[in-house]
Chains A and B, each alone.
Chain A
């Protein structure tokens, strides 16, 4: 069974005078251990797709199942808990709590999960080391570079032992070197720990790292290439 199953998914935004058809019937599935990029021109519906898969937004029609659970059946508070326990998020920006150190940011999600103090600390240290931040664990986000902040976000996303990580343009605010570095770390985690990553991007170099590339245009899947 696929970890993510998307069937004839549509999304219409009604907030404006003219309804916007952001997704027009998406059929996709992602397997455990994938390292997949979602690409497409601006406005094609990448963010909308990832938000719905991540349980951050409702679909208009169609069905999304994550690990066998139909997201539509969850109440909004169940959805919050579902996200906490099953999905890791890396956003383009505003990922971290500015008043907390890198370490505390990673620990925070473990505390939300109710993990004991010593386990939190151990896991946070281990993950920050894995993303190459063992030296900067006690720095607050404002003292970290954009790339370092995104690496903390990846560590935080992994801390909760999610079923998969969704990253919406994680490198959009990074220079090419930091982008590459971040992708290398994600790739390494994918290979060594079999962590599933689904990320959207505009950056061709990031696309090149992906083993699977899903291209969407006008809210439809235009192509789906598996490179491996």
Chain B
């Protein structure tokens, strides 16, 4: 009954309550939607990094990261790649050769990361084959040609086109300089121009003997999972099966992305807490007015035997109702709008150039987790409770005899 009284009490001054409720609605909506927008961007960035660049899990020689990488290969990587498919949760795996090298075309040079891949395996693990803008992804390659697939930004930089000749220089496993001639057969374009400038691809067989690594060896086995949720589980399982290899997840390889991911979760709460803090004062003010204009009624209630706990509870419930009514509407609006834009996307192509340079996609699909919304609801309730404290204490200080005394 006290709850019913509290609920009806907030509608006694409809306009005043609506003003607070709308303020809370707008505040929570803005908080939810803006963080959903940010989260969408971050999720996509991570997803595209996983799909195009790092995959979920990578296997290396334990010293691969430290020393002269060419020598630090995984022996019989081809077989190991095949056996990886037996681990549950692994979607695909691809063995690569990899080396830093210098490439030159028509006098312009650039340092890049050269990858020797099995195109079929690779296209199951990464998305580069879907990002081809010119030429093809290792299709119909004439016999004597060593094909090279490069990013559009690198093509622009070197001023090369399809069929242009490119010379690649690196040191083989024995430290001897090697110089190989390639033809550009494909140009890809991901949303990350830094990646596009840095990564070039050729076939495994075109690189293996020139590098001087044994047949079947590889520098890197990239693994794609069925679901990112399985990351830690599969990582541990893989590590126990391949004790000789270093097994790293995308979080180990790109700590900055992992950090971004973690920070997003906290950022949401920081924004919401700031918004709620501002709203807190609005609710306190409204509740104070509500208490002060009801002094006589509160005095009467205490006189007839409503104890302090109940009076406090009633005022707290009024405040919670104000906060929750606004909060729920705001959350629903934020969730609804997020869902709508989550499927249509928000096109930021006008600003896309600057964003692509940092690896962000031009169309953002806002995303929010229900868990987060539950957390926000909790914070809203907490705000209601906190903002009730001062007005409720004011009410408890009332002396019933004084309050009721009619002038």
Interface residues of A (CB under 8 A from B): 47, 51, 54, 56-57, 77, 80-81, 83-85, 89, 91-95, 97-100, 104, 107-109, 111-113, 156-157, 160
Cα(A77)–Cα(B307), bound, Å: 7
Q: Are the CB atoms of A85 and B305 closer together than 8 Å? A: yes
**Contact of A89 with B303 at beta-carbon distance under 8 Å, contacts A100-B8, A104-B1 already known:** yes
Across the interface, A84 reaches (CB within 8 A) one of B9, B304, B406, namely B304
Chain A nearest Cβ from B323, distance in angstroms: 19
A-B contact pairs, 10 of them (CB 8 A): A47-B405, A56-B400, A56-B404, A81-B307, A93-B406, A94-B296, A94-B406, A99-B12, A107-B1, A109-B305
Q: Is B310 an interface residue (CB 8 A)?
A: yes
Residues of B within 8 A of A51 (CB): 401
Q: Is B308 a contact of A99 with CB atoms below 8 Å?
A: no
Chain B hits for A113, CB < 8 A: 305
Q: Which of A85, A98, A156 contacts B297 (CB 8 A)?
A: A98
Interface positions, chain B 1-41, Cβ under 8 Å from A, are: 1, 4-5, 8-9, 11-12
Q: Are B310 and A112 in contact (CB under 8 A)?
A: yes
Q: B303, A160: Cβ atoms under 8 Å?
A: no
Q: How far is the CB of A165 from chain B (nearest CB, A)?
A: 11
Please indicate the chain B residues that have their CB under 8 angstroms from the CB of A83 in the complex.
303-305
List of A residues within 8 angstroms of B401 by Cβ: 51, 56-57
Identify the closest chain B residue to A107 (Cβ). Answer: B1
Closest chain B residue, CB of each to CB of A90 = B304
Cβ A81 vs Cβ B406 within 8 A = no
Contact A80 B305 (CB under 8 A): yes
Q: How far is the CB of A172 from chain B (nearest CB, A)?
A: 8
> Are A84 and B400 in contact, CB atoms less than 8 angstroms apart?
no
B308 close to A95 (CB less than 8 A): no
Q: Measured between C-beta atoms, what is the minimum distance from A81 to chain B in Å? A: 7
CB distance from B393 to the nearest CB of A (A): 15
Q: Per-residue 0/1 for B277-310: is the Cβ within 8 Å of any A Cβ (1 yes, 0 no)?
A: 0000000000000000000110111111111101
Give the number of chain B interface residues (Cβ < 8 Å).
Answer: 26
Q: Which residues of B contact A160 (CB under 8 A)?
A: 305
B-to-A contact residues, CB < 8 Å = 1, 4-5, 8-9, 11-12, 296-297, 299-308, 310, 399-401, 404-406
CB of B303, distance to nearest CB on chain A (Å)? 6
- Cβ of B300 and Cβ of A94 under 8 Å apart? yes
A151 to B350, CA, bound (A): 72
- Given known A80-B308, A93-B406, A99-B8, contact A54–B303 (CB-CB < 8 A): yes
Do B300 and A95 have beta carbons less than 8 Å apart?
Answer: yes
B1 touches A108 (CB 8 A): yes
B306, closest chain A residue (CB): A112
Residue of A nearest to B402 (CB): A57
User: In the complex the two chains form, is A100's CB within 8 Å of B5's CB?
Assistant: yes
The smallest beta-carbon distance between A200 and chain B, in angstroms, is 13
Alpha-carbon separation in the docked complex, A85 to B303 (Å): 12
For B11, the closest partner residue in chain A by CB is A99
Q: Judging by beta carbons under 8 Å apart, are A84 and B305 in contact?
A: yes
Asked if B297 and A97 make an inter-chain contact with CB atoms under 8 angstroms apart, the answer reads yes
Give A111 Cβ to nearest chain B Cβ, in Å. Answer: 5
Chain A hits for B406, CB < 8 A: 91-94
Contact of B304 among A93, A100, A104, A156 (CB under 8 A): A156
Kindly list chain A residues whose C-beta atoms are within 8 Å of the C-beta of B8.
99-100
- Minimal beta-carbon separation of A83 from chain B (angstroms): 5
Is B300 a contact of A91 with CB atoms below 8 Å? yes
A54 to B306, CA, bound (A): 15
Please tell me if the beta carbons of A98 and B307 are within 8 angstroms of each other in the complex: no
Residues of B within 8 Å of A92, CB to CB, are: 406
CB of A99 to closest CB in B, whole Å: 4
The distance in angstroms between the C-alpha atoms of A108 and B306, with both chains bound, is: 10
Q: How far is the CB of B297 from chain A (nearest CB, A)?
A: 6
Given known contacts A84-B304, A85-B305, what 11 new A-B pairs fall within 8 Å (CB)? A47-B405, A51-B401, A56-B303, A57-B399, A83-B303, A91-B303, A94-B296, A99-B11, A108-B5, A112-B304, A113-B305
Question: Which of B11, B296, B302 makes the CB contact (< 8 A) with A80?
Answer: B302
* Cα separation A188 to B193 with both chains bound (whole Å): 94
* A77: chain B residues within 8 A (beta carbon): 307-308
A47 to B404 Cα, complex, angstroms? 11
Cα distance, A50 to B11, chains bound together (Å): 35
**Interchain nearest-CB distance for B305 vs A (Å):** 3
Bound complex: CA of A76 vs CA of B401, how far in Å? Answer: 13
Q: How far is the CA of A94 from the CA of B358 in the complex (A)?
A: 67
How far is B302's CA from A113's CA once the two chains are assembled, in angstroms?
Answer: 13
Complex Cα spacing A98 to B296, Å: 12
Q: Which residues of A contact B9 (CB under 8 A)?
A: 99
Residues from chain A with a CB closer than 8 A to the CB of B296 are 93-94
* B304 with A98: CB separation less than 8 A: no
Q: Which residues of B contact A57 (CB under 8 A)?
A: 399, 401
- Report A-chain residues with C-beta under 8 Å of the C-beta of B305: 80-81, 83-85, 109, 112-113, 160
